[in-house]
Structure 1
Amino acid sequence: MQKLFKISSFYLLLGLIVGVFYREFTKFNNFTGTTSLGLVHTHTLVLGFMFFMIVLLLEKNFLISQIKNFKAWLITYNVGLIYLISVLIFRGILQVKGTDFAGLSHIAGLGHAILGVSLVWFTVIVNKAIKKYDEKNKAKGL
């Protein structure tokens, strides 16, 4: 559980840092339009910090880390999220500088796809953990 808390805390810190970066970078460059940098703060806090706080609660109640492939899921999800955050930051910097290029949308789409698959995979893991929990309690007569 400590590992999940540390991951959640990492995304909290990262989310706060990118929020400050967004504000200061656009102000420094006198940029007033919309940019994908504005999305990074929220994506990081919701898909990183808040999501892993929920995972932590599910671990405490249903021991989801004992389900087969949980570690592989954890790595895949984090790779997808870091990839997505990185591409959003890169694209946002390009937008502020006025040098955005069209092909970047397809590159960003890969991060979304990895996260989408990871979220479905996570749902399967949670479902298995709940079934295991229910079977265990049924055997105890609860």
Structure 2
Amino acid sequence: MTKLFYAAFVYMGLGVASGLFYREFTKANDFPDGQFTQLGLVHTHLLALGFIVLLIVLALEKLFGMSESKLFPWFFWTYNAGVVITSAMMVWHGSLTVLGQESTAMIAGIAGIGHILLTVGMVLLFLALRPGVLAQQAAKKAVPAGS
């Protein structure tokens, strides 16, 4: 549980810092207001996919004991790798846009790998969550009505 807590905290800090970076980097490079760059999306992605999702997983862990599943560490590391890779490619691509440079197919390919890891991580989350949900449902059925 502490890994989830600290990871969520780190993503909260990175999410806030990425918003600051976006604002200051675009100002410093005279990037036109309103023009699109992926830098503007990093803030939201880190806060939503990192901070909020991991806080929800922390609550689910408390309710269902998912960390007892052998799949839970696979979820944790795969999902976090996906968040980090996806966010890093957004920063790289967005920085190139602000600097007036072209992005490459390599950046898009690596970002795709990040998205694949996010997807695999989400599937692993549900597979790790399932036994706890089923066990809780079975325990409720085992208690006689009116007890």
- In which range does the TM-score fall when normalised by the shorter chain? over 0.9
The 5 A counterparts of 1:52-91 are 52-91=54-93
The within-5 A match list for 1:1-142 is 1-32=1-32, 33-103=35-105, 104-139=107-142, 141=144
> Quick one: distance in 2 between partners of 1:120 and 1:72?
10
Letter in 2 for 1:21: F
In structure 1, how many angstroms separate the alpha carbons of the residues matched to 2:96 and 2:111? 14
Q: Tell me how far 1:100 sits from its aligned partner.
A: 2.2
1:31-79: CA deviation from partner (whole Å, max 9, x where unpaired): 0221010110000000000001100110111111111210121011111
Q: CA RMSD in A?
A: 1.5
1:4 CA drift (Å): 1.1
Note the C-alpha offset of 1:137.
4.1
SS in 2 for 1:11: helix
Q: TM-score, normalised by structure 1?
A: 0.92
Runs of 4+ in 1 over 2 A off after TM superposition: 132-142
Structure label with greater radius of gyration: 2
Secondary structure of the 1:79 match is: helix
| TM-score, length basis structure 2 | 0.89
How many angstroms apart in 2 are the aligned matches of 1:141 and 1:3? 38
Letter in 2 for 1:59: E
Which is worse superposed, 58-67 or 101-110?
Answer: 101-110
Count of equivalent residues = 142
CA distance in 1, matches of 2:43, 2:144: 47
More off after superposition, 15-24 vs 119-128: 119-128
Amino-acid identity (%)? 40
Gaps of 5+ in 1: none
